Each structure stands twice: as C-alpha cells, then as structure tokens.
A and B are shown apart, each in its own frame.
Chain A
Amino acid sequence: MIEFKNIGKHFGENIVLTDVSHVMQTGKCNLIIGTSGSGKTVLQKCLVGLFEPDSGHIFYDGISFTEMKTQARKELRQQIGMLFQGSALFDSMTVEQNVMFPLDMFSKLTHGEKKTKVNEVLARVNLEDANNKFPSELSGGMKKRVGIARAIVLNPKYLFCDEPNSGLDPQTSLVIDKLIFDITKEFNITTVINTHDMNSVMEIGENILYMYNGQKEWTGTNEEIIFSKNERLNQFIFASNFLQDAKDMRMLEAKGIISDDRNMEEMLKNGDKLSN
C-alpha cells in the first residue's frame, strides 16, 4: 500500500500539485487520470522519489518515504519496478541484457540462474524469441513488454507505469492493460498507472484518482466513474461521443429499458441516438 498525504510541488512560479492525498491499494490497479498538465506525471515522480515534494508525506506500507535516508531509499527502490512512457530500454543492450540488468546489479544468482529467470519473465510477457534483439528492432508494444519484464524481474512490491498505452494501437493497448492487470493480481503488487486512456480506465481501473489542475478532484472505481456527477470528470471521460453513448446505454440498462442481449444492429438500423 502506498499512502500520500498533502503532496505539494511547484516549479518556480508554477504550482503543479496542491495538497494531493490518496491511498494506492495493494493487489489493485490504481490509476491516476487527468488531462495533460494536470500533474499526473509529477505526482508519480514524487511518489518514486525522482522529484522531491515541497510538502506532504509519502508512506510505503506505513514507512515514511519522504523522511528516509539515501541508503534506505536505495534499498526500497529495489522493490519498485517502473515502466516508462518511452520504455527507457538501454539502447546498447539486447532484450536479454536489459531484463538481466537489475539481476546483474542486485542479485547474487549465477549466470545460469539469471538466464532462467530472464527467460521466465520474458515468457510471462509473451516474448520468448526476442532475447537477442536490440530495442531498435522491436515494435512499440514489444518495447513496453520488455519494459514490464525488466520492471518485474526483481519481483517488486510496487509497480509504476507511466502512460503504458501511449503510442500503441487499441488492440495492443488492451494486451498491455491485461498483462499489467494479471501481473498485479499474480504477484499481489501495488500498481500505480498514469493514463488518460479511457479504455484502460474502464478495463483495469480498480482505484482511480482523477486529477484536475494539480488537485485531487475525484476518486472511485471504474464501476462508479461512469455514473459520476462530477462535472469536470464527466467533461474528461465523455470527451468522446462513443463513451457518452456507452454511458447512456448503461443508464438504460440500469433502468431495465434495454438488456445486455439487445440487438445492436436493430437499434442502429432504427437510428436510435442514445445520447439524444
């Protein structure tokens, strides 16, 4: 569990975060959502210690991260895995070397044991045949999967993902979302995901924090978000007509007007415009 209280951060005159508090739950996909510039990335970087917050406290399983000494932080960071927006793979290393790097640095395993572990992790992300490829030879989705493999190779307790679906097609995005979700459940990890991809929100958002203008605006689950009355949140999530239609459909379902086995084709043929 990661708890943060009253986090504040500014860069010069620009106030980026104001009094943000929330609890990221263990074994769940915790999402930080919001428009570009709402402070999601800065908040995540504060949580992992890449930025120092100006005010507030961060607790990892009850232990204060903000007051930790450098050495203790280094030790805690070995329990943190992070998937970066651009994957951040080491260009000069092969996929195998990239994934093996944390093991080389921190484990006392033999080379054979490390190799077995790397192969296991790569198999887990469905990349069995990519060991000897360089990052430049991989597609965007494959890079993300290597990034996930590298993040989980040391069996972390906390997994951070910064925009895991950026630059990916919807189908690959679903694969990545499912992979993150499955890994979270399998290893009982506290996963924190930064995203503005509404598909991810609806698919895996078990605990959602909506940020607006550097402040906490709304929290809830993917079940609750669709029915939220928060105006700013609604503007954000229903920016596309498709989602507005989806919401209307759920409303109609809830009222019993339509059922799950409705004939969509027939409805479309009749020109039903649900949002009207």
Chain B
Amino acid sequence: MDFFTHFGRYLIMLKGMFTKPENTKMYWKEFMRQCVDIGIGSLGIVSIISVFIGAVSAVQTAYQLVSPLIPAQTIAQIVRDTVILEFSPTLVCIVLAGVIGSKIASELGNMRVSEQIDALEIMGINTKSYLILPKIAAAMVTIPLLVIISMVLGIWGGRLAGVASGILSADTFDRGLLSKFIPYNVFFALIKSYTFAFIISSIPSYYGYYVKGGALEIGRSSTKSVVVSCIMLLFADYVLTQLLLTH
C-alpha cells in the first residue's frame, strides 16, 4: 500500500473517533485506565533516563568547555537548555514511542486478530472511539507531564553529577540555572511534547487497529509503528524547531 492510502486511512480513523460515546462513564473509565498505563507505567523508565541524560550532559559539557575564560556556571545553563529544549521532549518521547507505541500497537493488533474488536463492533460500540480515542487523549495528558518531570529530573541529574565529580559546586550550578533563563523554552518544549504525544499514540493505534493476519503480523506492525513514529517524531521536531525557534 502506498503512502497516500495509509495516510488517507489514518485520517479516516482519526475522523471516526469523534462520535457520541455510547456510555460516557465507560469511556472515562477507559481513559483513566490508559492514563495509568501510559503515565504511571512509563514513569520509572522516564525517571531513570532523565537523570542519566542530565548527568551525562553535565559531564560532557564540562569536558568540552576547556577554556578558563568560560565560567563554570555556563555548564548549568547548557545542561538546563539542552534538557528543556531537546533531551526531555525529544529523547524521552523517542523512548516512549518504543515503550508505549509497541504496547498500543500490539494490544490493538491482538484484539483485532482475536476478533475482540469485531465483538465490540457487534455490540454496537464505535471501536475507534472506544479503543483509540482514550489512548490518544491519555497520551496527550500524561506525556507532557512526564516531559515536565523529565526536565526536573534531568537538571537534577546534571547538578548531582556536576557536584559529585567536582566539576562545579551546587551553588554555582544553581546560579547558572537562574541565569538567562528563557521561559519560552519551556513553552516550546510543551508544544513539542503535545505534538509528539499525538504522534506516538495515533500512529501505533493505526498500525494495531488495521493489522491483518496472526502473531507474526502483530509483531511486524508493532515494529513498523515504532519505526514510523520515531521518523515522524524527528521530522516534527525539525519542523517545530524551524518554526518556533528561528526568528
């Protein structure tokens, strides 16, 4: 199938999600379940990655800033800005594309192959609306929150590594953090995280929902969904950066 067929079917799927829910309470329950699965379920991996990303960026920045003319607090500024602008939204979302994306694609794929989706359709339930919408909505709510947590933990990791390895003192790091802070960067990171959340939940939903075949195809569609999500995410990253950070 060519790109336009996939894209057209993807748009039809998204359009199909927006119908009146059969039972709002059940949809809310499903949304909350997805919030727990996506949000709480990914908190551990996001925390670990974020701390180490911050720590590594602090040490590597110090390694590259060899000139004595550059004050040590610059390290904190660089750690802060790279974590907020790129590492937390992009790197964390790439990891989440793997974690959440494969889970969504294989869950829906398994439901499709084992006729559970057909069973819901027969009951008179709009499966696009009941199965996909709560996943996308939950991702849009929880992923930006995870990104914010990641920013905090990333910066804290940088501070921890900087102090522990004797690169700079805690005071110097804190001064650097407050120096030349641009709040717009956080806004930009949130815009990115909303966009990425949509990409990494809707693309795997598409691949899982329309899977045909058996276990092998579920695996294939899961892998494909992660690959396509990552490519789309990086493409969106470039476009957003170009649009929002260049004047």
Contact = CB atoms under 8 A, between A and B. Distances in A.
Interface in A51-97: 73-78, 80-82, 84-86, 88-91
A50 interface: yes
B67 interface: no
B26 interface: yes
A78 B123 contact: yes
Majority SS at the chain A contact face: mixed
Given A104-B23, A105-B26, A77 B123 contact: yes
A82 B22 contact: no
B26 A78 contact: no
B119 A106 contact: no
A179 interface: no
A84 B23 contact: no
A102 interface: yes
B174 interface: no
B124 interface: yes
Interface residues of B, number: 15
Given A77-B124, A80-B122, A102-B123, A88 B22 contact: no
A78 B124 contact: yes
B203 to A, nearest CB: 23
B26 to A, nearest CB: 6
Contacts of A249: none
Given A50-B122, A77-B123, A77-B124, A84 B115 contact: yes
Interface string B108-127: 00100011101101111110
Contacts, number: 54
A174 interface: no
A48 interface: yes
A88 B116 CA distance: 5
Contacts of B22: 74, 105-106
Contacts of A76: 124
A82 B124 contact: no
Nearest to A79: B124
Contacts of B121: 49-50, 77
B124 A75 contact: yes
A80 B125 CA distance: 12
A110 to B, nearest CB: 13
A33 to B, nearest CB: 21
Nearest to A50: B118
A86 B115 contact: yes
Contact of A90 (B23, B116, B118, B126): B116
A75 B22 CA distance: 10
Most chain A C-beta atoms within 10 Å of own C-beta, residue among B23, B26, B114: B114
Given A106-B22, A106-B23, A88 B123 contact: no
Contacts of A82: 118-119, 122
Given A105-B22, A106-B23, A84 B124 contact: no
Interface string A97-139: 0000110111000000000000000000000000000000000
Contact of A85 (B26, B115, B126): B115
Contacts of A50: 118, 121-122
Given A74-B124, A75-B124, A77-B123, A104 B26 contact: yes
Interface string A197-228: 00000000000000000000000000000000
Nearest to B126: A74
A86 B118 CA distance: 12
A143 to B, nearest CB: 11
Interface in A33-48: 48
A149 to B, nearest CB: 13
A48 B124 contact: no
Nearest to B122: A82
A85 B114 CA distance: 9
B234 to A, nearest CB: 33
Contacts of B125: 105
Contacts of A101: 123
A112 to B, nearest CB: 17
Interface in B7-30: 22-23, 26
- CB-based closest 8 A-B pairs: A77-B124, A88-B115, A88-B119, A74-B124, A82-B122, A84-B115, A78-B124, A105-B23
Interface of A: 48-50, 73-78, 80-82, 84-86, 88-91, 101-102, 104-106, 160
Given A80-B122, A160-B122, 5 more contacts: A50-B122, A86-B115, A91-B114, A102-B123, A104-B26
7 contacts: A74-B126, A85-B115, A88-B116, A88-B118, A89-B116, A102-B123, A105-B26
